Amino acid sequence: MSDAKRFIGAIYLKDLKVIDNISGNTVISDDPVSYSCALSDGNVDEIMVFDLSPSGDDKAHEAALDMIKDICKAVDVNVTGAGNVKRMEDIKKLLYAGCKRACLNYRDEKNADILQEVSEKFGRDKIVICYDDDKVLKSNKELLEKFACEAVFFANGKDIAAPAADLPLTVVLDSDEHFSLPDEVFYICDSVSGVTGNIVSGNISKIDECKQNCINKGLKICALEPAFNWEQLKKNSDGMVPVIVQDYRTDQVLMLAYMNEEAYYKTLQTGKMTYFSRSRNQLWLKGETSSHFQFVKELTADCDLDTILARVKQVGAACHTGSYSCFFNEIAQKDYSEKNPQKVLDSVFEVIKDRKINPREGSYTNYLYSKGLDKILKKVGEEATEMVIAAKNPNSNEIVYEMSDFLYHMMVLMAEKNVSWEDITDELSRR
C-alpha cells in the first residue's frame, strides 16, 4: 500500500440515512448516494461506509448492503465497508456489494478468530481491522501483520500513536476530537497514513486546502503529481496549451479548451479541470457557474508536448448549449461497420433491453422473455456447453460463432436480471 497520506470520507449509515457520527442520531442527509458522490467529487481519496443497522436485524442489514452497493456504483474512489461484520459471509457480502475492502471489528473476539480464514479466502489486501484499544493488537501482532493490510483506530479522545502491529494506520476522528482540520493529525504522528470520520466529511470544502497544507509541510499525499512541469510543455503563440477533453468512461470527445500555467497547476491541485478563457481573459473553473464540473481522471501529453488529453468525469453537459459534447454538428459521414467492441456490445444490449420494453412480433428475444427465466438459463447453459465443444475444434471460426451466441444469451439474462455492462466492468476493475 502507498505511504501517501489519505483523506477518507466517512459515511455513517443508519436507517438508510447518513448521520453525523458513529454514535450520533442527527440525520445530515436523506440521500446517501448523493452524499457519497459529493465526497468523491470533493477530492477525498477513499470512502469508508459504516453500516450502523441494529445488530441481529437481518432485514435492515440487507437494505444497508443494497445501499452500499449503490454507493460503490456511483462513486469513483475505492470504498471500504465496515460495521455488522461477524462472519465470513458478511465479508463476502460487502465485497460482492462492490467494496474494495472490508473492515473486521477486532474488538470482538469472534472476529479475531476468523481473521486468518477470511484473509486466506479473500486475500490479505481485502481485509482491514478496526480497534479502539492497542492491547488487542499486542497479543496477536504477527497474526495481524500476516493477514490484514491496515488498522483503523477509533480515537475517541485517546492518544494517537503507532499501533502495536506494523500496519498502515487510519484514524477515525469525529466531532469530539481536538483537531480543527483533518490534516493536523498527520503532523503529530508519522505513523498515521489516513484520517477519516466526521472531521473529513464535515470539512469536505477544505480538503484541497488540507492537501496543500500537507504539501507545504513536505508530506507525501494522494494527489495528481505531474511528470512534466509547465516549462517542459510547448506553448502556442498565446503562451497556452490546448486541451482535448474526453469522457473517461465512454471515450467520447467533449470539448477543446486552453490552459495557461496557473490553470495547469490549479487543475493538478484541485482535481477539477480549470482553463484560461481567452474570450473573458481570465481563469475559468469549468462548472463554477453551471455546476457542470469536470473531475480529472487522467492527463496525458502528446508526442510533441504541445497538446494535453484530459480524461474526465463530466457532471451534466460539457457544452454551453446543453449538449453533452460540443461536437454534434455533423459535416459528413460514410456508412461503415462499427469495430469498437464497447460500442458494438452497447448497441446490441440496447436492442435487447428495448425488446423487453417494446416487444416485436416474431422476435427471438421476445420469445425468450415470454418463456421466462428458466428458459433463458437453459439457453445460457446450452450455449456455454456448445462453446466448450467448439473450443476443441482447431478451426477458430466455430468458437467465434458460439462465443457470439453465448454473449447474446448472456445479455438477455443480464437484461432480465437488470445487470448492466457497467456493473460487470466495475466488478472486473475492482479485481
Q: What pLDDT does residue 405 have?
A: 95
Average pLDDT over residues 241-257: 95
Average pLDDT over residues 18-28: 90
SS3 296: strand
Is pLDDT at 67 greater than 80 in this prediction? yes
For residue 109, what pLDDT band results from cuts at 50, 70 and 90? low
Average pLDDT over residues 134-152: 85
If asked whether residues 88 and 190 sit together in one domain, one would say yes
Q: Which three cell numbers stand for residue 121?
A: 479466502
If asked whether residues 259 and 386 sit together in one domain, one would say no
If asked whether residues 134 and 84 sit together in one domain, one would say yes
Percent of the chain at pLDDT exceeding 90: 68
Question: Is the residue at 331 inside a domain?
Answer: no
**Using only C-alpha atoms, what is the Rg of the chain?**
25
Separation CA 103–CA 134 (nearest Å) = 17
Structure confidence by residue, pLDDT tens digits, 411-427: 999 999 999 988 888 88
| pTM greater than 0.85 | no
To the nearest whole number, what is the mean pLDDT of the chain?
A: 90
Full domain range(s) for residue 96: 6-216
Question: Is the residue at 105 inside a domain?
Answer: yes
Worst-scoring range by mean pLDDT, 64-68, 140-144, 276-280, 329-333? 140-144
Q: 75 and 36 in contact (C-beta within 8 Å)?
A: yes
Amino acid at 67: M
Q: What pLDDT does residue 407 have?
A: 96
User: pLDDT: is 73 or 429 the higher one?
Assistant: 73
Structure confidence by residue, pLDDT tens digits, 45-54: 999 999 999 8
User: pLDDT: is 190 or 385 the higher one?
Assistant: 385
Structure confidence by residue, pLDDT tens digits, 374-407: 999 999 999 999 999 999 988 788 899 999 999 9
Cα three-residue angle 378-379-381, rounded to 5 degrees: 65
Q: What pLDDT does residue 264 have?
A: 97
Structure confidence by residue, pLDDT tens digits, 148-182: 999 999 987 788 887 877 889 999 998 666 788 99
Average pLDDT over residues 211-232: 91
Task: Give all strands of the β-sheet with 253-259 in edge-to-edge order.
Answer: 253-259, 241-247, 308-314, 294-301
Q: What pLDDT does residue 408 have?
A: 96
Residue carrying the nine cell digits 470512502:
47
If asked whether residues 174 and 254 sit together in one domain, one would say no
A 10 A CB-CB count for 187 gives 13
Contacts of 369 (CB under 8 A, 6+ apart): 355, 356, 359, 376, 412, 416
A 10 A CB-CB count for 148 gives 28
User: For residue 320, what is the DSSP state?
Assistant: T
Q: Which secondary-structure segment (H or E) carries 34?
A: helix 32-41
Is pLDDT at 2 greater than 60 in this prediction? no
For residue 1, what pLDDT band results from cuts at 50, 70 and 90? very low
Q: Please choose, from the candidates 234, 210, 250, 244, the residue with its C-alpha nearest in 3D space to the C-alpha of residue 8.
A: 210
If asked whether residues 197 and 274 sit together in one domain, one would say no
Q: Which of 216, 246, 278 is the last residue of a domain?
A: 216
CATH number of the domain residue 256 falls in:
3.10.20.810
CATH number of the domain residue 413 falls in:
1.10.287.1080
Q: 122 and 150 in contact (C-beta within 8 Å)?
A: no
Q: Which secondary-structure segment (H or E) carries 253?
A: strand 253-259
Strands 274-277 and 46-51: unpaired
If asked whether residues 145 and 18 sit together in one domain, one would say yes
